[in-house]
A and B are shown apart, each in its own frame.
Chain A
Amino acid sequence: MIYFDKVTKQYGDMAALEDVTLSVAPKEFVSIVGHSGAGKTTLLKLLLAEERPTDGNVFFESVDVNDLPSSALHHYRRKIGMVFQDFRLIPNKTAYENIAFAMEAAGRTDDEIASDVPYILELVNLADKTRHFPDQLSGGEKQRIAIGRAIINQPELIIADEPTGNLDPINTYEVVEILKKINELGTTIIITTHNKGIVDAIGKRVITIDRGRVVRDDVDGKYVL
């Protein structure tokens, strides 16, 4: 499904990623671990076509991501649900509207929106906070809204960049449980983290990156650095 072919990304003289080759199969749950600055976020940015590789190619379902014209990028990005450490909700939209926005952007009808959004809010346990704005929600609630927004268009892939970095242990556990549930329903998930507890709790494939290189790739991994 995803294939990095000898990908190198340089920022000036610094190599953020060096000669990375890896592939992810459909329905996998992959944890990418590594120190801050190891290159995890760069890897995700390349996958989202936010950055272009200095060398090598990134494929998503046999499409070279960097060959996509910018007019097709927004179509491509709808196939991927994104979750961020800092949630990135739209501050002047309510919880409901934040999720609905992703559907509106994808051109879904009002009827679809009216039936899907409440269902997703139920799924992330926030049916009672529909009319709240992001600054009226706790960190865990915001992240659950963000996950709701990421999955609303039934993407083939969810990318979660340090999704629990700003959360306390209880909220972290809840977020991980939701992600596992989504994976069980058939969505591929790539998560970056440096939280050992999460990786061990997930107990799936772990890719370790250090100084821009893939140093370990364990199918049934533990957090080892």
Chain B
Amino acid sequence: MDMNWMIFKRVLVSGGKSFLRGGAVSAATVLIMTVTLSIIGSLIFLSALLTFTLNTIKDKVDVSVYFVTTAAQADILAVKSQLEQLPQVQSVTYTSADDALTAFRARHATDQLTLQALDELGNNPLDASLEVRAKDPSEYDSIVKFLEASPALSAGGTSIVDRINYAQNKEVIDRLSLAIAATREIGFAVVILFAFASILIAFATIRLAIYVAKDEIAVMRLVGASNAYIQGPFIVTGIITGVTAAIAVLLLLWPATWYAGVRTQAWFGGFSIAGYYGSHFMLVFAIIMLSGILLGGIASVLAIRKYLKA
């Protein structure tokens, strides 16, 4: 039998046994680690949620260019194709005056008064428009400038543009983006602080668990065990603790995200926490499991080091 394999196997078995026989101490460290990993997990979900919200808001930003009722469709489409060639532009949607009217009627289908007023007008009061969507919200400025400077907008000296709604939307959008960015930063700061505190607690718990075993370590040294051989089982126990806690967290996240999702989906603008967990399970699994293994392993190495001197 290969020597290293034999040692490896013994270290594994010994670490596993002392985890199982650890009783209350093992249970306490698993519990503490579970709390720590839950906080790290909530960091993942918080990040996903805020990113989603920010993207949703960014998606809502667009610039609408309204054309005077006399503008020819060909002229408008010419502007459209010019805009589409700009590198900052993601998409341009053309809404004809008729389409706008249909949409307006649909939107006010229950509002008889408005519809009656519209009918009495006799003709279509609505403008044709182009909805321009930029690749990045910061590019709207340059797009608007382009539109304002463009000669294609003037047919025979008079501008065919009625109005560009950018300025009025801009302020609201900017404020909202700022608020979300601030929330994100504060939220992250708080959660990272919690994560840091609970990592310290997890470390301290493992240190205590190993402190309990310090006489045992002294005996192992006297019996002639090498440092690596003494250390190994404790690291294995630490890693088993981390893995057990990680599994507990990953299991608990199913009901937790489902419950939280039901309560908050509407509020978070359609973001489903449970859905996110389902679709990103491998990512969450990897982060939580790796955190558990590293936390348990590193804490054990650090804790035992001082009993191995001399």
Contact = CB atoms under 8 A, between A and B. Distances in A.
Interface of A: 48, 50, 70, 74-78, 82, 88-93, 101-102, 104-107, 109-110, 149, 153
B222 interface: yes
A70 B229 CA distance: 15
Given A70-B310, A110-B1, A90 B222 contact: no
Interface of B: 1, 3, 6-7, 10, 17-18, 21-22, 215-216, 218-227, 229, 310
B310 A106 contact: no
A159 B6 CA distance: 30
Nearest to B18: A92
Contact of B21 (A75, A89, A92, A105): A92
Given A70-B310, A78-B224, A109-B6, A88 B219 contact: yes
Contact of B225 (A50, A74, A109): A74
Nearest to A90: B216
Q: Is the interface of B mostly helix, strand, loop or mixed?
A: helix
A149 B225 CA distance: 13
Contacts of A74: 221, 224-227
A48 B219 CA distance: 13
Given A92-B21, A92-B22, A107 B7 contact: yes
Contacts of A106: 224
Contact of A105 (B6, B17, B22, B226): B226
A89 B219 CA distance: 7
Max chain A C-beta neighbours (<10 A), residue from B18, B218, B220, B224:
B224
Interface centre among A77, A105, A106 (most CB of B within 10 A): A105
Contacts of B10: 104
A138 to B, nearest CB: 19
Nearest to A78: B224
Given A88-B219, A90-B216, A110-B6, A77 B224 contact: yes
Contacts of B310: 50, 70
A109 B1 contact: yes
Nearest to B219: A88
Nearest to B226: A74
B211 to A, nearest CB: 14
Contacts of B219: 88-90
A147 to B, nearest CB: 13
Given A70-B310, A107-B3, A48 B222 contact: yes
A105 B222 contact: no
